[in-house]
A and B are shown apart, each in its own frame.
Chain A
Amino acid sequence: MNEVSKRLFVSVALIVSIRMPLMAQEAHVGNLTGHAANGKKLYRRYCIGCHGPLGDGNGENAPWIDPKPRDFTAATFKCRSTPTGTLPTDQDLYNSVGRGFYNSNMPHWDALTDQNRIDLVAFIKTFSPRWTTEKPGDPITIPPEPAVTMQSITHGAELFQKMECWKCHGQQGRGDGPSAPTLTDSKDQPIRPYNFAAGGDDSRFKCGVTNQDVYRIFMTGLDGTPMPSFADVIQPNDAWDLVHFLRTLQTTRHSKENEVLKAAGGKIPVKAPDAGSDNKGSGGGQ
């Protein structure tokens, strides 16, 4: 073997040995098994324009898109069932691909088959070495939802003050709190807090539409954004109360929560703030 072909052989062997385990990356959801090698072809057809050939979110459309496409090399994901700072489950990624991201350029890919989507999830996991060195976090436990009552909504409203959700989301949940104009994501791009009041019956959250999704969003936080995790500081029952209150901020959406509120006269009783109570430190609202 002459020197040139020897070198060629070594580099090909190196490339194969480096790429092979990556291409062997799999994803599992239910009975489906996704294969990265198949996902790669789909990615080049459907995803590369925005997420780019390197998966870093710098596709050729990226300069014209806001919010920016996800950078898969960072392996930081908004929609997770797992604690903040951990990798999401395959199911989380699979759900994201199928659901798309409301208020962004990411469409829902339910036109693809289930197999296509799980293959894409497997391929997305080849962009960061974290997927070979770390395991996804354990999904948080969501207890059964208690009944929607005025008591639950009222307590949720108190928590909205106590946890200072209004600092970003605003007192009416319109995404116009005092800190809202200063918010940036982890790539220093401006980012808006969710506006609960927009959207009517069609209103959706980035990470789902059900009450369970709302619960999961504030408990796990949206990694890569200013939205923190509250899992350490809100008890499960309190969390459900907050979910019920948040639904009433969606004033134009038909919901059980809005019916209960309407039946009670449409007003949430405001607890008089007393020193050392739940309302500690919540003064100075809008």
Chain B
Amino acid sequence: MRTKQLFLVAIALLVSPALLFAAGTISGKVTYTGTPAKQKTIDMSKEPTCAKQHTTPVTTETVVTGPNNVLENVVVYISAGAPDESSAPAQAVTFTQKGCQYIPHVLAMRTGQELKVVNDDQTSHNIHPLAKVNREWNKSQPPGTPPLSEKFDKEEFISVKCNVHPWMHGYFAVLKTSHYSISGDNGGFSLPNLPPGKYTVTAWQEDYGTQTQDVTITGNETKTVDFTFKAKPY
């Protein structure tokens, strides 16, 4: 009897990690159809310390594309179905102002996660997130001052600008989930570590809006989900 119980426990121990770690991945590519609007060239001549950091012309980054119609800077995330993750990651995400540009242009973070804003330039910037759901704030950051530390409590895509340098524009994607990915220069994204379940995947592009698709993960598998946005000509 005793041996049988032990045997069952041993079996359970061997099997459970496999069940626990049975995790699927949703990955894919973001592309566009049509012709995207031509990005505007930025004239930084009023800010020589920034202008001299760029050897090639700098353009706006509202729509960033790559070869084979791929679309960059698209936030792809699990908008429904992901287990509730109550605590935000301890490590901060960093938003850098360099050469009078925002790096990265779109920064994703968890609700409540620490956001560090760094000024690498020899000029003053003001960081002005135009939040509607969260609180709007506006802080000056002269050169050489320490990074700002902030956080946002509610899910929102927040447009960020610098009023001193009107061409500087970016986005904070504040999400309730840690399952997010931003499409890179090949348009690809990957959402790993998803336990079996039904998920809604949302793709957000700052100019083209959002798209959603439902995906079911049954076990250790990789599901491919592609998103195609219709480009706006202007």
Contact = CB atoms under 8 A, between A and B. Distances in A.
Interface string B115-135: 000000111101110101001
A233 B166 CA distance: 22
Contact of A280 (B122, B132, B136): B122
Nearest to A178: B46
Given A167-B124, A280-B144, A221 B138 contact: yes
A229 interface: yes
Given A86-B135, A167-B124, A182 B166 contact: yes
A187 to B, nearest CB: 9
Interface string A261-281: 000000000000000000011
Contacts of A76: 136
B122 A228 contact: no
A232 interface: yes
Interface in B128-153: 128, 130, 132, 135-145, 148
B48 interface: yes
B163 interface: yes
A280 B137 CA distance: 26
Interface residues of B, number: 29
A179 interface: yes
Given A74-B132, A179-B163, A179-B166, A84 B139 contact: yes
A281 B163 contact: no
Identify whether the interface residues of B are mostly helix, strand, loop, or mixed: loop
B46 A280 contact: no
A197 interface: no
Contacts of A134: 135
Interface in A53-109: 74, 76, 84-86
A110 B82 CA distance: 55
Contacts, number: 85
A84 B165 contact: no
Nearest to B143: A281
Identify whether the interface residues of A are mostly helix, strand, loop, or mixed: loop
A232 B137 CA distance: 13
Contact of B138 (A84, A164, A182): A84
A182 B135 CA distance: 24
B138 A227 contact: yes
B141 A233 contact: yes
B103 interface: no
A228 B126 contact: yes
Contact of A223 (B136, B143, B165): B136
A221 B122 contact: no
Contact of B126 (A85, A182, A226): A226
B49 interface: yes
B37 to A, nearest CB: 19
Contacts of A167: 124, 164
B126 A232 contact: no
For the complex of A and B, 9 pairs with smallest distance between CB atoms: A85-B137, A226-B163, A228-B126, A164-B124, A182-B166, A281-B122, A228-B140, A85-B135, A228-B138
25 contacts: A84-B137, A85-B137, A163-B140, A163-B142, A164-B123, A164-B124, A167-B124, A179-B46, A179-B166, A183-B163, A186-B136, A223-B138, A226-B128, A226-B163, A228-B127, A229-B140, A232-B139, A232-B140, A280-B122, A280-B144, A281-B49, A281-B121, A281-B123, A281-B124, A281-B143
Interface of A: 74, 76, 84-86, 134, 162-164, 167-168, 178-179, 182-183, 186, 221, 223-230, 232-233, 280-281, 283-284
